[in-house]
Amino acid sequence: MACSLCEKVQKQLLSTNSDQVKSKDDDSLVTVADWSVQATVSWMLSKSFGSKNISIVAEEDIQTLSKSESSSLLAMVVSAVNGCLSEASRFGLQGPEKPLSPSQILEAISQCSSRGGLLGQHWVLDPVDGTLGFVRGDQYAVALALIDDGEVVLGVLGCPNYSVKDNGLNKYSRENRVTSNGEVGCVMYTRKGSGKAWMQPLIRFDKRLDWPNSAKLIRVSSVDDPALATFCEPVEKSNSDHSFAAGVASTAGLRKKPLRVYSMVKYAAIARGEAEIYMRFARSGYKEKIWDHAAGVLLVIEAGGVVTDAGGCQLDFSRGIYLEGIDRGIIACSGSKLHEKIIGAVYASWESSNL
pLDDT of residue 175: 38
Domain count, the chain: 2
pLDDT digits (tens, 9 = 90+) for 154-188: 999 999 999 987 665 654 444 333 333 446 899 99
Least confident of 234-243, 248-257, 321-330: 234-243
Q: Which of 8, 123, 105 is nearest to 62 (CA)?
A: 105
Measured over the CA atoms of residue 296, residue 299, residue 303 and residue 308, the dihedral's sign is positive
Q: Helices 71-85 and 102-110, interaxial angle, to 10°? A: 90
Q: Once rounded to an integer, what is the mean pLDDT over residues 240-257?
A: 94
Torsions phi, psi of 278, nearest 5?
-130, 120
325 part of a folded domain: yes
CATH of the domain at 231: 3.40.190.80
pLDDT band of residue 80 (cuts 50, 70, 90) is very high
pLDDT of residue 52: 66
pLDDT of residue 180: 34
155 part of a folded domain: no
DSSP structure class, residue 233: E
Burial class (CB in 10 A: 0-12, 13-18, 19+), 153: middle
Q: Once rounded to an integer, what is the mean pLDDT over residues 71-96?
A: 93
221 part of a folded domain: no
| Per-range mean pLDDT, top range of 72-86, 182-196, 204-218 | 72-86
Domain end: 64, 97, 112, which one? 112
pLDDT band of residue 249 (cuts 50, 70, 90) is very high
| Domain carrying residue 290 | 226-353
**What's the pTM?**
0.92
Catalytic-role residue among 131, 230, 251, 308: 131
Domain end: 83, 112, 141, which one? 112
Pick out the residues of the known binding site: 59, 126, 129, 292
Pick out the residues of the known binding site for Mg(2+): 59, 126, 129, 292
For residue 11, is pLDDT > 60?
Answer: yes
126 part of a folded domain: no
Asked if residue 333 lies in contact with residue 339, where contact means CB atoms within 8 angstroms, the answer is yes
For residue 329, is pLDDT > 90?
Answer: yes
- 258-290 burial: b if 16+ Cβ within 10 Å, else e: bbebbbbbbbbbbbbbbbbbbbbbbeeeeebbb
pLDDT digits (tens, 9 = 90+) for 108-123: 999 999 999 999 999 9
140 part of a folded domain: no
Q: Which of 275, 282, 279 is nearest to 326 (CA)?
A: 282
pLDDT band of residue 242 (cuts 50, 70, 90) is very high
For the chain, how many helices (H) and strands (E)?
Answer: 9, 14
Measured over the CA atoms of residue 296, residue 243, residue 131 and residue 167, the dihedral's sign is negative
pLDDT digits (tens, 9 = 90+) for 125-145: 999 999 999 999 999 999 999
pLDDT of residue 208: 58
31 part of a folded domain: yes
pLDDT of residue 78: 97
The larger pLDDT score, comparing residue 105 to residue 27, is at 105
123 part of a folded domain: no
Catalytic-role residue among 34, 138, 241, 309: 34
HSE-CB of 5 using CA atoms within 13 angstroms: 32
Give the span between the Cα atoms of 181 and 195, in whole angstroms: 30
75 part of a folded domain: yes
pLDDT of residue 354: 58
Domain end: 59, 91, 112, which one? 112
pLDDT of residue 207: 59
The DSSP element (H or E) to which 294 belongs, if any, is: helix 294-302
Active site residue 327: no
Q: Once rounded to an integer, what is the mean pLDDT over residues 27-34?
A: 80
Active site residue 27: no
pLDDT digits (tens, 9 = 90+) for 268-302: 999 999 999 999 998 888 899 999 999 999 999 99
The larger pLDDT score, comparing residue 338 to residue 169, is at 338
What mean pLDDT, rounded, does the chain reach?
89
Q: Cβ neighbours of residue 238 under 8 Å, at least 6 residues apart?
A: 283
SS3 249: helix
CATH of the domain at 43: 3.30.540.10
For residue 17, is pLDDT > 90?
Answer: no
pLDDT of residue 167: 61
pLDDT of residue 283: 83
pLDDT of residue 165: 79
Give the span between the Cα atoms of 189 and 160, in whole angstroms: 14
